Amino acid sequence: MYFDVIMAGFGGQGVMLIGNLLAYSAMNSDKNVTFFPSYGVEMRGGTANCTVVISDQEIGSPIVGSPNSLIIMNKPSLDKFQPRVEKGGILIFNSSLINREEVTRDDITIFDIPMNNIAMDIGNSRLANMIAIGAFIKATKVVELQVLKDSLKNVISERNLKFLPENIKAIDKGFEYI
Protein backbone atom coordinates (compact mmCIF):
# COMPACT_ATOMS: atom_id res chain seq x y z
CA MET A 1 0.00 0.00 0.00
CA TYR A 2 1.25 3.47 -0.93
CA PHE A 3 -0.68 6.69 -0.55
CA ASP A 4 0.25 10.36 -0.63
CA VAL A 5 -1.59 13.63 -0.19
CA ILE A 6 -0.82 17.31 -0.39
CA MET A 7 -2.87 19.52 1.92
CA ALA A 8 -2.81 23.24 1.15
CA GLY A 9 -4.36 26.51 2.26
CA PHE A 10 -3.33 29.77 3.85
CA GLY A 11 -1.68 30.05 7.23
CA GLY A 12 -4.22 29.73 10.01
CA GLN A 13 -6.47 27.23 8.22
CA GLY A 14 -4.89 24.32 10.08
CA VAL A 15 -3.46 22.31 7.18
CA MET A 16 -0.31 21.53 9.17
CA LEU A 17 -2.40 20.28 12.07
CA ILE A 18 -4.41 17.86 9.92
CA GLY A 19 -1.27 16.76 8.09
CA ASN A 20 0.34 15.98 11.42
CA LEU A 21 -2.86 14.25 12.55
CA LEU A 22 -2.89 12.05 9.45
CA ALA A 23 0.79 11.21 9.98
CA TYR A 24 0.20 10.19 13.61
CA SER A 25 -2.84 8.17 12.55
CA ALA A 26 -0.73 6.28 10.01
CA MET A 27 2.00 5.64 12.61
CA ASN A 28 -0.66 4.44 15.05
CA SER A 29 -1.81 2.07 12.29
CA ASP A 30 1.72 0.60 12.04
CA LYS A 31 2.42 2.25 8.68
CA ASN A 32 5.54 4.02 7.52
CA VAL A 33 4.93 7.73 7.13
CA THR A 34 6.59 11.01 6.23
CA PHE A 35 5.26 14.49 7.00
CA PHE A 36 6.80 17.35 5.05
CA PRO A 37 5.57 20.88 5.94
CA SER A 38 6.13 23.93 3.75
CA TYR A 39 5.36 27.51 4.75
CA GLY A 40 5.22 30.71 2.73
CA VAL A 41 7.40 33.62 3.75
CA GLU A 42 4.53 35.54 5.38
CA MET A 43 4.00 35.33 9.14
CA ARG A 44 0.21 34.74 9.02
CA GLY A 45 -2.18 34.44 6.13
CA GLY A 46 0.52 33.29 3.71
CA THR A 47 0.57 29.98 1.93
CA ALA A 48 0.98 26.74 3.83
CA ASN A 49 1.04 23.18 2.59
CA CYS A 50 2.25 19.81 3.69
CA THR A 51 2.79 16.45 2.12
CA VAL A 52 2.02 13.18 3.88
CA VAL A 53 3.20 9.87 2.45
CA ILE A 54 1.89 6.61 3.92
CA SER A 55 3.19 3.18 2.97
CA ASP A 56 3.59 -0.42 4.08
CA GLN A 57 7.15 -0.24 2.72
CA GLU A 58 10.02 2.11 3.50
CA ILE A 59 9.52 5.57 2.00
CA GLY A 60 12.35 6.81 -0.18
CA SER A 61 11.48 10.50 -0.18
CA PRO A 62 8.93 12.83 1.43
CA ILE A 63 8.77 14.86 -1.78
CA VAL A 64 5.85 14.13 -4.10
CA GLY A 65 5.57 15.51 -7.63
CA SER A 66 2.14 14.18 -8.55
CA PRO A 67 0.10 13.28 -5.46
CA ASN A 68 -2.65 10.66 -5.30
CA SER A 69 -4.86 13.21 -3.59
CA LEU A 70 -5.29 16.82 -2.56
CA ILE A 71 -7.06 18.61 0.25
CA ILE A 72 -7.43 22.23 -0.87
CA MET A 73 -8.66 24.95 1.46
CA ASN A 74 -8.42 28.09 -0.72
CA LYS A 75 -8.29 29.28 -4.35
CA PRO A 76 -4.55 30.06 -4.60
CA SER A 77 -3.82 26.51 -3.42
CA LEU A 78 -6.22 25.10 -5.99
CA ASP A 79 -4.47 27.06 -8.73
CA LYS A 80 -1.07 25.80 -7.63
CA PHE A 81 -1.79 22.12 -6.94
CA GLN A 82 -4.77 21.11 -9.11
CA PRO A 83 -2.60 20.48 -12.20
CA ARG A 84 -0.31 18.18 -10.19
CA VAL A 85 -2.76 15.57 -8.87
CA GLU A 86 -2.37 12.33 -10.78
CA LYS A 87 -5.00 11.13 -13.23
CA GLY A 88 -7.59 9.09 -11.33
CA GLY A 89 -6.66 10.87 -8.09
CA ILE A 90 -8.87 12.57 -5.53
CA LEU A 91 -9.48 16.27 -4.93
CA ILE A 92 -11.30 17.43 -1.81
CA PHE A 93 -11.83 21.19 -1.78
CA ASN A 94 -13.45 23.84 0.37
CA SER A 95 -16.47 25.00 -1.63
CA SER A 96 -17.11 27.72 0.95
CA LEU A 97 -14.11 29.56 -0.56
CA ILE A 98 -13.74 28.01 -4.02
CA ASN A 99 -16.35 27.93 -6.79
CA ARG A 100 -16.89 24.54 -8.42
CA GLU A 101 -16.33 26.09 -11.86
CA GLU A 102 -12.73 26.78 -10.85
CA VAL A 103 -12.01 23.06 -10.70
CA THR A 104 -11.01 22.25 -14.25
CA ARG A 105 -10.02 18.60 -14.03
CA ASP A 106 -12.38 15.91 -15.34
CA ASP A 107 -10.02 12.95 -14.89
CA ILE A 108 -10.11 12.86 -11.06
CA THR A 109 -12.69 12.24 -8.35
CA ILE A 110 -13.86 15.55 -6.92
CA PHE A 111 -15.52 16.24 -3.57
CA ASP A 112 -16.70 19.81 -3.02
CA ILE A 113 -17.46 20.36 0.63
CA PRO A 114 -18.62 23.66 2.18
CA MET A 115 -16.15 23.28 5.03
CA ASN A 116 -16.44 26.79 6.45
CA ASN A 117 -20.25 26.65 6.34
CA ILE A 118 -20.36 23.30 8.13
CA ALA A 119 -17.86 24.58 10.70
CA MET A 120 -20.04 27.64 11.34
CA ASP A 121 -23.06 25.35 11.78
CA ILE A 122 -21.10 23.53 14.48
CA GLY A 123 -20.29 26.89 16.03
CA ASN A 124 -16.57 27.34 15.33
CA SER A 125 -15.17 28.46 11.98
CA ARG A 126 -11.73 27.11 12.94
CA LEU A 127 -13.01 23.53 12.55
CA ALA A 128 -13.01 23.57 8.73
CA ASN A 129 -9.74 21.63 8.71
CA MET A 130 -11.23 18.83 10.84
CA ILE A 131 -14.18 18.62 8.46
CA ALA A 132 -11.67 18.28 5.61
CA ILE A 133 -9.74 15.43 7.25
CA GLY A 134 -12.95 13.61 8.19
CA ALA A 135 -14.11 13.76 4.57
CA PHE A 136 -10.66 12.68 3.38
CA ILE A 137 -10.69 9.60 5.61
CA LYS A 138 -14.11 8.59 4.31
CA ALA A 139 -13.11 9.14 0.67
CA THR A 140 -9.77 7.34 0.87
CA LYS A 141 -10.07 4.86 3.77
CA VAL A 142 -6.30 5.31 4.21
CA VAL A 143 -6.67 5.00 8.01
CA GLU A 144 -9.56 3.99 10.25
CA LEU A 145 -11.81 6.78 11.52
CA GLN A 146 -11.39 5.73 15.15
CA VAL A 147 -7.59 5.69 14.83
CA LEU A 148 -7.77 9.25 13.49
CA LYS A 149 -9.91 10.37 16.42
CA ASP A 150 -7.68 8.60 18.93
CA SER A 151 -4.62 10.28 17.40
CA LEU A 152 -5.98 13.78 18.08
CA LYS A 153 -4.42 13.73 21.54
CA ASN A 154 -1.00 13.42 19.83
CA VAL A 155 -1.36 16.68 17.90
CA ILE A 156 -3.52 18.98 20.01
CA SER A 157 -1.66 20.90 22.68
CA GLU A 158 -2.50 20.18 26.29
CA ARG A 159 -4.08 23.61 26.73
CA ASN A 160 -6.44 22.89 23.82
CA LEU A 161 -7.52 19.39 24.89
CA LYS A 162 -10.77 20.93 26.12
CA PHE A 163 -11.68 21.35 22.43
CA LEU A 164 -11.27 17.64 21.68
CA PRO A 165 -15.05 16.92 21.60
CA GLU A 166 -15.59 19.80 19.14
CA ASN A 167 -12.82 18.49 16.89
CA ILE A 168 -14.24 14.97 16.95
CA LYS A 169 -17.69 16.32 16.09
CA ALA A 170 -16.21 18.19 13.10
CA ILE A 171 -14.34 15.08 11.92
CA ASP A 172 -17.61 13.14 12.10
CA LYS A 173 -19.44 15.85 10.12
CA GLY A 174 -16.84 15.71 7.35
CA PHE A 175 -16.94 11.91 7.35
CA GLU A 176 -20.73 11.93 7.10
CA TYR A 177 -20.73 14.54 4.33
CA ILE A 178 -19.11 12.18 1.81
Q: Domain holding 82: CATH number?
A: 3.40.920.10
- Predicted confidence (pLDDT) at residue 170 exceeds the cutoff of 70: yes
Cα(88)–Cα(106) distance, rounded to whole angstroms? 9
Average pLDDT of the residues in 85-111 = 97
Q: How far is CA 126 from CA 3, 14, 45, 72, in A?
A: 27, 8, 14, 15
Closest residue by Cα to residue 168 from 130, 142, 141: 130
Span 54-70, pLDDT tens digits = 999 999 888 898 999 99
Q: What percent of the chain has pLDDT over 70?
A: 96
Average pLDDT of the residues in 171-175 = 98
The count of domains in the chain is 1
* Exposed/middle/buried for residue 165 (C-beta within 10 Å: 0-12, 13-18, 19+): exposed
Task: For the chain, give the mean pLDDT.
Answer: 94
Domain that holds residue 42: 2-177
First and final CA of the chain: distance in angstroms? 23
Please give the pLDDT value at position 39: 78
Cα(97)–Cα(123) distance, rounded to whole angstroms? 18
- Predicted confidence (pLDDT) at residue 44 exceeds the cutoff of 80: no
